[in-house]
Amino acid sequence: MRRLGEQKWRNFILPSKVTHGFSSKTNPNPNEFLIKAISKSLLHNETWETLSTKYSTVNLSNSVIQQILLRFKQPETAKSALNFFHWSAHNRNLRHGISTYAVTIHILVKSRLLIDARALIESSISNSDSDLFNSLLDTYEISSSTPLVFDLLVQCYAKLRNFEIGFEVFQKLSNRGFVLSVITLNTLLQYAVKSNRIDLVWRIYEVAIEKRTYPNETTIQIMISALCKEGKLKEVVDLLDKIQGKRSSSAPLIVNTSLVFRVLGENRIEEGMSLLKRLLQKNMVLDVIGYSIVVYAKIKQGDLEYARKVFDEMLQRGFDANAFVYTGFIKACCEKGEIEEAGRLLNEMESSGLNPYDETFIYLIEGCARFGKEEGSLKYCEIMVARGLRPSCLVFNEMVERLSKIENVKHANEILTKSIDNGFMPNEDTYSRMIRGFVEGNDIEQALKLFYEMEYRKISPGFTVFRSLIVGLCACGKVEAGEKYLRIMKKRLIEPNADIYDALVNAFQKAGDKTNADRVYDEMMLIR
């Protein structure tokens, strides 16, 4: 369609040496006289009043308007084009079509009348029904335009907070081979950050790198601001510390590393590797970080053999092993149940002078717990705490959940005490599982101590805690104490279930107290 439009335009606007007349063999444009007349009036800077008087009966179609505009597409006559655009809209009460807007915008941008161009762009895109982008593309060649027009378009979308459309246009232009300026990239990013569209910020930055619109110092500052807003800056800096073995202060390195890990974290491995390759080619990521990321990606894919080859190549090229890569291998082994191999890697890691960090131990604790190695999970948890590290609540709770021996529950309780001294914050689930472990191990006294510790720490016991205590007290013949906790439970509006009542009834019957057994039974029947 665009080529056809251009051919029509060429038929209407002939080179200057033949515009004074038509050959007898050509079909003249029926509007040619009108186009020439209005163009001449505009060149003579006639006023709007004069124009309106002279052309009061003329019907100006969109086609005629665009042909007139195109006669003024050179920078020295662009103001006449703008004058005609406004006169035809105002005095003739016309509503310009989107293609007329597009042609005028092209002329203004080429002539660097950018304030006027922005005004027309904003006016056009404020109308949700307009398709300015495609109209600008369709009229780009016949207007002899410049890529700057698309920079302004995306910038206007950003300033009007139409981020998704602006980003979509950014992508479409990049796919067509237009390389937008870094100023446009920064404008889109800046307004997205201001509006807390952090997810979109990283999508924009990723596409920019893919399409070779590379960042400058301002871009990096915006991306650091985005990391701060989402609370991820420390996380990325800590990650680089684990790879480099020292605190990283390079803002571009922080931003670009974060980008690659985000893509990999979304399981877009191929895209992540392609992105990493481009960053390495432009020296935007250090080689040692590149190797570490490739190892991480291959481990994530489950290709441990290839990951090990990359790791060996990394060492052969003179780069040091790092805690991040070792932890990745340890995690993979623990997930597969290869606990002994994970332990061997930990020893190898420490022999290399590398310090395991919290996640290293967390993977070992989880792996041991899931594959029935209770003592192993406790051992690694104890080592972790002894080094001043804290397990996550989730991992500690899972470890306790899988303990089957009372001696291991007691060991876990000792570790819990030391962990709390290190700043560990147990939750209701932590105490619930510990109490149940002691009850099942027939140590009701220790279970009660943990209950009072919960109360002291202002952690409200839930149904599971009360159930464990009441059932445990009844099992060891302390039915009156069990009923006391039933009253506390009900006072706190926690509804007992049949298991609790059954335990109390059985305990009273075992003690020969039929009266209380019947009373509790009747109470149970009332709630059913």
Q: What is the pLDDT of residues 344-362, one digit of tens each?
A: 999 999 999 999 999 999 9
Q: What confidence score (pLDDT) does residue 8 get?
A: 35
**For 283-328, how does the pLDDT look when each residue is reduced to its tens digit (9 = 90+)?**
999 999 999 999 999 999 999 999 999 999 999 999 999 999 999 9
Tell me the C-alpha distance between 392 and 277, whole Å: 35
Mean of pLDDT values over 362-377? 96
- Contact status, residue 437 vs residue 406, Cβ threshold 8 Å: yes
Tell me the C-alpha distance between 364 and 358, whole Å: 10
- Residue tagged 């792996």 (tokens): 367
**For 257-291, how does the pLDDT look when each residue is reduced to its tens digit (9 = 90+)?**
999 999 999 999 999 999 999 999 999 999 999 99
Q: What percentage of the chain exceeds 70 in pLDDT? A: 94
pLDDT interval class at 245 (50, 70, 90): confident
- Contact status, residue 374 vs residue 404, Cβ threshold 8 Å: yes
Mean pLDDT of the chain: 90
DSSP string, 354-402: PPP-HHHHHHHHHHHHHTT-HHHHHHHHHHHHHTT----HHHHHHHHHT
- Residue tagged 């020893």 (tokens): 347
- Contact status, residue 220 vs residue 258, Cβ threshold 8 Å: no
Mean of pLDDT values over 14-18? 36
Distance of CA 115 to CAs 80, 98, 263, Å?
Answer: 16, 19, 38
Q: Which domains does the chain have, with CATH numbers?
A: 1-146 (no CATH), 321-426 (1.25.40.10), 430-528 (1.25.40.10)
pLDDT interval class at 23 (50, 70, 90): very low
Q: What confidence score (pLDDT) does residue 11 get?
A: 37
**For 49-108, how does the pLDDT look when each residue is reduced to its tens digit (9 = 90+)?**
888 888 877 878 888 899 999 999 999 999 999 999 998 888 767 788 899 999 999 999
Mean of pLDDT values over 223-244? 94
Tell me the C-alpha distance between 353 and 333, whole Å: 21
pLDDT interval class at 526 (50, 70, 90): confident
Burial profile 5-21: b = 16 or more Cβ within 10 angstroms, e = fewer:
beeebeebbeeeeeeee
Q: What confidence score (pLDDT) does residue 92 get?
A: 64
Helical ranges in 245-392 per DSSP H: 251-265, 269-281, 287-301, 304-316, 323-336, 339-351, 358-370, 374-386
Residue 248 has pLDDT above 80, yes or no: no
Q: Which residue has the higher pLDDT, 12 or 196?
A: 196
**For 128-180, how does the pLDDT look when each residue is reduced to its tens digit (9 = 90+)?**
667 899 999 999 999 999 999 999 999 999 999 998 999 999 999 999 989 89
Classify residue 465 by its DSSP letter. Answer: H
- Residue tagged 């490739």 (tokens): 294
Model's pTM, two decimal places?
Answer: 0.79
Other beta carbons less than 10 A from residue 57's beta carbon: 5
Residue 422 has pLDDT above 60, yes or no: yes
Helix 323-336 to helix 233-244 angle (10° resolution) is: 100
Residue 18 has pLDDT above 90, yes or no: no
- Residue tagged 């029926």 (tokens): 30
Residue 4 has pLDDT above 60, yes or no: no
Other beta carbons less than 10 A from residue 76's beta carbon: 8
Phi/psi region, residue 480 (left: phi>0; alpha: psi -120 to 50; beta: rest), is alpha
Q: For the range 235-242, what are the long-range contacts, defined as Cβ-Cβ under 8 Å and sequence gap of 24 or more?
A: 236/261, 239/324, 240/289, 242/322, 242/323, 242/324, 242/327, 242/357
Tell me the C-alpha distance between 145 and 311, whole Å: 51
pLDDT interval class at 3 (50, 70, 90): very low
Q: What confidence score (pLDDT) does residue 249 get?
A: 76
**For 456-484, how does the pLDDT look when each residue is reduced to its tens digit (9 = 90+)?**
999 999 999 999 999 999 999 999 999 99
Q: What percentage of the chain exceeds 90 in pLDDT? A: 81
Tell me the C-alpha distance between 462 and 347, whole Å: 42
pLDDT interval class at 528 (50, 70, 90): low
